[in-house]
Amino acid sequence: MCSSCGLRTPDDGVSLECREPHGPALAKSDYGDRPFAPDRRAAGIHRYREWLPIRRAVAETGRSVVYRSDRLGRFLGLKDLWIAFNGYWPERGADLITGSFKELEAATVLGRLPEHAGTLVVTSAGNTAAAFAELCSVHAVPAVVILPADALGHLRSRVPYAEQSDAVRIVAVDRADYTDAIALGDALAALPGFVPEGGTKNVARRDGLGTVMLAAAEAMDGLPDYYVQAIGSGAGAIAAHEAAVRLRRRSGDTRPLPRLMLAQNSGFAPVHEAWHTGRRPWEAGGADDDRAAARRAFAPELTNRKPPYDIPGGLREALTETAGEVFVADGAEARAAMATFLELEGIDIEPPAGVALAALRTAVRDGRVDPEARVLLNIAEIAALTGRLTAVGGRAAGR
């Protein structure tokens, strides 16, 4: 269903935009009157297949693990803190093998994609590349993965891709950032024989990420009051909001939707600036300055220079509907948050998750989060564990 004109069309597995003549708008999946009924016998995200736009199951997929955190909650001053953990932590039952919730979107996109659709073109700042490269290699789905050269270290796999299949080609763009990679990917995807993955515009990507909220609602027996996540494009935040809207509609719950509490790097925060000042940095030019700021960012994965902010169904709409907020965290705050998570929860997390936790700490300290409320913190990435994953080029993957 188009967020702009409301047009409903059957899903063909590859469409990204409405065919009607209007400006850009996100499409949303419409599952009719299907109830929220997790299939407890199904593995991974297929537990939620009734609310996924898939035509076939993709084996070897994990899902979010949601648990209540007493120690971190006490440290932050929160009475009811829950963590949606997305990574590889067998002791907790977490089985996302590349250590990122981007596997949720990759599995759903591949499950939606028709057979023989063409070579899939994926652009990424790191973790999405790792997820698609892994799953496309395992399932022999032809794909070209394009990313900035500085992000090559994120390409971690259990075994070298070529030992699984020859389906994937990696294109690393030198002296480039995420937006440059997107531009190259768009140009390649326009050629015959290629099909764009689509990024935030792909309903499968967002619905896969939305299973974080579905897993939380199942574990908590209801929706959280606050949802906390670090963002680059904001696809995960939009997805969480869309899933919450579906859950509330099916349950008849009249309570407010979960408030989106989003976080960005302090030195590169276009969504924060747009939300707080009304100025759109992506409209002001200065691409070279933006690239330099992206390179300096503590978490470069969060440096999308052209987020889907103003379009129907986009970030501004989700923030407005939830009375949300956008915070920033600097490198020192994020490092401290990462050290705290390791000490209290027993596993190390990546910089984007550190930014999210640091922002939550600031929000609680400043009275922007009710300490009595139910808070869901999305730990979207963890550090690779030495010896369990292999890095591209033979470089060490762990800490």
CATH number of the domain bearing residue 339: 3.40.50.1100
Q: pLDDT 10s per residue in the chain (399 long)?
A: 999 999 999 999 999 999 999 999 999 999 998 999 999 999 899 999 999 999 988 877 889 999 999 999 999 999 999 999 998 898 999 988 888 888 999 999 999 999 889 999 999 877 889 899 999 999 999 999 999 998 888 787 878 888 888 999 999 999 888 888 999 999 999 999 999 999 999 999 999 999 999 999 999 999 999 999 999 999 999 999 999 999 999 988 888 999 999 999 998 999 999 999 999 998 876 666 777 777 788 888 888 888 999 999 999 999 999 999 999 999 999 999 999 999 999 999 999 999 999 999 999 999 999 999 999 999 987 765 433 444 454 332 322
Q: Which of 165, 183, 202 is the last residue of a domain?
A: 202
Count of beta carbons in the 10 Å neighbourhood of residue 37: 11
> Is 346 found in the same domain as 221?
yes
> Is 375 found in the same domain as 321?
yes
> Is 174 found in the same domain as 322?
no
Phi, psi of 144 (to 5 degrees): -115, 125
- Domain total for the chain? 2
User: What's the rounded Cα separation, in Å, for the pair 284 and 278?
Assistant: 12
15 in a structural domain? no
What's the pLDDT at 388?
Answer: 43
391 in a structural domain? no
> Is 315 found in the same domain as 291?
yes
Q: Which amino acid is at 40?
A: R
User: What's the rounded Cα separation, in Å, for the pair 119 and 196?
Assistant: 8
What's the pLDDT at 285?
Answer: 65
User: What's the rounded Cα separation, in Å, for the pair 349 and 338?
Assistant: 6
85 in a structural domain? yes
User: What's the rounded Cα separation, in Å, for the pair 139 and 117?
Assistant: 14
User: What's the rounded Cα separation, in Å, for the pair 125 and 147?
Assistant: 6
Structure token digits, residue 288: 């070279």
> Is 313 found in the same domain as 235?
yes
Q: Which of 170, 202, 234 is the last residue of a domain?
A: 202
> Is 283 found in the same domain as 165?
no
What's the pLDDT at 286?
Answer: 66
47 in a structural domain? no
> Is 238 found in the same domain as 176?
no
| Exposed/middle/buried for residue 252 (C-beta within 10 Å: 0-12, 13-18, 19+) | exposed
> Is 115 found in the same domain as 187?
yes
> Is 154 found in the same domain as 265?
no
Q: Which of 202, 235, 260 is the last residue of a domain?
A: 202
What's the pLDDT at 193?
Answer: 96
Q: DSSP 3-state assignment of 223? A: coil
Beta strands in 205-245 (DSSP E): 226-230
Beta strands in 206-331 (DSSP E): 226-230, 259-265, 325-329
Whole-prediction pTM value? 0.92
396 in a structural domain? no
What's the pLDDT at 296?
Answer: 84
User: What's the rounded Cα separation, in Å, for the pair 146 and 122?
Assistant: 6
Contacts within 8 Å (CB) and 24+ apart, 189-192: 189/121
> Is 318 found in the same domain as 220?
yes
Q: Which residues of 241-250 are buried (b: 16+ CB within 10 A; e: fewer)?
A: bbbbbbbbee
User: What's the rounded Cα separation, in Å, for the pair 213 and 227?
Assistant: 9
> Is 132 found in the same domain as 92?
no
Beta strands in the chain (DSSP E): 65-68, 80-85, 88-89, 94-95, 119-123, 143-148, 156-157, 168-173, 194-196, 226-230, 259-265, 325-329, 374-379, 390-391
Domain range enclosing 120: 102-202
What's the pLDDT at 384?
Answer: 52
236 in a structural domain? yes
Q: What distance lies between CA 332 and its chain's CA centroid?
A: 23
> Is 345 found in the same domain as 245?
yes
156 in a structural domain? yes
Q: Check: CB of residue 132 under 8 Å from CB of residue 170.
A: no
165 in a structural domain? yes
Q: What distance lies between CA 65 and its chain's CA centroid?
A: 15
